[in-house]
Amino acid sequence: MPGLEIPGEFLRHAILDTVVPHSPALDIEGALSSSLENGADDLPSVLSSIPQRSLLFFDEFLPVRIVLRLSDCSETILKHYLPRLEVKLDVFAVDPAESVGENLTPTRDIIFSGIVSGDEDPLVVFNEFEGDEGSGNHVYLVWNIETILRRPRIRIQHPSLLFIASTSLNPADARCQEDSEDDYLPSLVPASTNMLQSLSIDKSFNHKEPFLPASRLLRVVPTTYNEDPIYNIQQHHGHPFRVVPAASARIRYSRLNSYTGTPMTVASLDFEVTPYLTCEVAFDKANLHLSEGTIESLSETPGLALPITCRPRDDVTLMYKLTPEYGPETNPSSTALVSTLDIALEAIILVDDECKPRISMQWRTNVDFSVALNPTFGGPSPALQRTNRPTSLSVSTQAGVTPSNRSSLRERAYSVTDVGITISFSGPVRVQVGSVFSWDVFIVNRSNVPRKFALIAIPKRKRVDPRGHVARPSSSSITSRKEDQVAEAVTDDNIVHARQKSVAGQEVELISLSTDIRVGPLLPGTCHSTELKLLPLATGPLHLEAVRLVDVNTNETTDIRDLPDILADDQPRSN
């Protein structure tokens, strides 16, 4: 094609640079035109007037502009070579502090690498200029690429991001086929010198120019350029951008000790805004997908409806109930009941009115729904985990109520544990037989660590005194034996009969309708209120054996025996 230069000369004086605009809706064409009108010459000076981001965030969707400046390029040449340009962007996480000292090459980890789509046409800005050496032009090509700032795989003390752009000129498809199948001279390559060029003015050749290439007579080295052709260029210098994590997320599981046969798990999803921010964050999306199961949200309250505006150091917890689709017929001993949970969180960082970057966190984890062969057996013995475990709670003295003052009925009992947990019970003193009543339970975590408990009411049973029956010799013991040929009876018949008869009097007088109450997780300094439902079945003073407080994390148990008094009668209570 006439007027086209050699491909290697297209990128001879080209320069690459990147721009991370502060506002995604930047009019970069107007910004370039304004800088050029003000007399900016080199590319850094032209781009210096564009406001760029001062702080970036991990997990952010970030639009980046790639700017390529060509020198002395006509519109015809640009249209010919533009489809063959391949533009690439690499984002590195580096520590600029490592470059100070003996190590001039800081440690870097690539967190993004992408190629600009060939279907997207770049923005083209022509600039004609006149100088001392003559007139010329600069052509600015601008591409837009969407990046995702992933977290680096290596630990970096003070991370910064470095954007490095590169471009290459790919060979034409027609030329590749011509090189492999056609033996003729490729296009745009100079031919050998014509040895009969001087005879072209002779009229005797009847307007037929004689042609004899020099390659037919002797070996001629083709004409070369003083410099090697350039088919790819790379951005030489990059400006490091400071980057910090905007938020962190984690999920925790708590298995429900329900004896229905269907395994269920409660998931606590925490979204915490880091203290590095000085602006608000709008937490607007939280999507969870459980393979082979269903998810039920337990946070459908007006205060926790998305979007939620969070400030630095705020922590939002969303609760979900995870239920697998397999039922009790699945044999947990034969295979592990594991499902995959996909989590996707999104939030908008409200930097200012023009800059509102969006962050996205996605990960996948496994949920184990396997249950024990005997779920009612419980965990290991607490005695194996803590040798000095207190057997009961210490009771603090309360105004008007002392442990020794048992003459009057108490409506409230207050206790403090040795592990920093304060618990109180309050409820009605006089109740009616057959009518359900409730105790209000209030728990305060005064320790320095988060706690999670289960409350279990233990009914009181009558104890049978084994010494209440006097053993009498049975008929078999007074019969005469013939020289020890018959052995003595192992157990007397009257003793067995007495023990069986005494079992009938061990019925329960007070039943707890709240079989398993879960409390927590309780952060240090927080409290929780719940209730314990009871059903009296006999008249007179009734008591529970204890209320067992079980630490879910360590399986340590503490029996609370100081409880309010209960007096049941069969007459309706007066208002």
Higher-pLDDT residue of 307, 372 = 307
**What are the tens digits of pLDDT across the range 164-205?**
999 988 876 544 444 445 556 666 666 777 777 777 777 776
Q: What's the one-letter identity of residue 29?
A: E
Cα separation, 455 vs 452, whole angstroms: 10
Cα separation, 565 vs 401, whole angstroms: 12
pLDDT of residue 359: 95
**What are the tens digits of pLDDT across the range 338-375?**
788 999 999 999 999 999 999 999 998 888 776 554 44
DSSP code for 102: S
**What are the tens digits of pLDDT across the range 124-153?**
988 887 766 667 788 999 999 999 999 998
User: Is 51 within 8 Å of 78 (Cβ atoms)?
Assistant: no
Q: Per residue in 313-329, is it b (16+ CB within 10 Å) or e — as a string?
A: eeebebebebbbeeeee
Instruction: Answer yes or no: pTM beyond 0.85.
Output: no
Cα separation, 163 vs 111, whole angstroms: 10
Helix (H) or strand (E) holding 28: helix 28-37
User: Is 568 within 8 Å of 542 (Cβ atoms)?
Assistant: yes
**What are the tens digits of pLDDT across the range 499-531?**
666 555 556 777 778 777 888 778 877 777 788
Residue 389, pLDDT above cutoff 50: no
Residue 391, pLDDT above cutoff 50: no
Q: What's the one-letter identity of residue 180?
A: S
Mean pLDDT, rounded, for 540-557: 80
Q: Which parts of 55-181 fold into alpha helices (H)?
A: 75-81, 173-181
| Among 243, 313, 307, CA closest to 279 | 313
Cα separation, 401 vs 428, whole angstroms: 16
Cα separation, 346 vs 362, whole angstroms: 9
Instruction: Identify the CATH assignment for 392-463+505-569 out of 2.60.40.10, 1.10.10.10, 1.10.3660.10, 3.10.20.810.
Output: 2.60.40.10
Strand 247-255 relative to strand 265-273: parallel, antiparallel, unpaired? antiparallel
Higher-pLDDT residue of 85, 434 = 85
**Domain locations along the chain:** 7-241, 246-368, 392-463+505-569
Q: Give 57's strand partners.
A: 244
pLDDT of residue 180: 47
Query: What is the DSSP annotation of 450-514?
Result: -EEEEEEEEE--PPP-GGGS-----HHHHS--STT-SPPPSS-HHHHHHHHHHGGG---SEEES-
Cα separation, 157 vs 243, whole angstroms: 11
DSSP code for 9: G
Residue 75, pLDDT above cutoff 70: yes
Cα separation, 267 vs 289, whole angstroms: 12
Cα separation, 148 vs 357, whole angstroms: 11
Cα separation, 22 vs 50, whole angstroms: 8
pLDDT of residue 493: 67
Q: Say how many C-beta atoms besides its own lie within 10 A of residue 117's C-beta.
A: 10
Q: Residue 58 has which token pair?
A: 């991990």
Cα separation, 218 vs 494, whole angstroms: 132
The CATH class of 246-368 is mainly beta
Cα separation, 322 vs 221, whole angstroms: 77
| Among 457, 438, 420, 444, CA closest to 544 | 457
Mean pLDDT, rounded, for 257-269: 73
Residue 112, pLDDT above cutoff 90: yes
Please check whether the two domains, 246-368 and 392-463+505-569, share a CATH topology.
yes
pLDDT of residue 418: 65
pLDDT of residue 132: 63
Helix (H) or strand (E) holding 45: helix 43-47
Strand 358-368 relative to strand 265-273: parallel, antiparallel, unpaired? unpaired
**What are the tens digits of pLDDT across the range 462-492?**
555 555 445 455 544 444 444 556 665 555 6
SS (H, E, C) 390-451: CCECEECCECCECCCCCCCCCCEEEEECCCCEEEEEECCCEEECCCCEEEEEEEEECCCCCE
pLDDT of residue 174: 42
Of 238-247, 372-381, 542-551, least confident by mean pLDDT is 372-381
| Among 311, 334, 165, CA closest to 237 | 165
First to last CA, the chain: 106
DSSP code for 374: S
DSSP code for 523: P
**Secondary structure of residue 84 in the 3-state scheme:** helix
Residue 282, pLDDT above cutoff 90: yes
Confidence of residue 404 (pLDDT cuts 50, 70, 90): very low
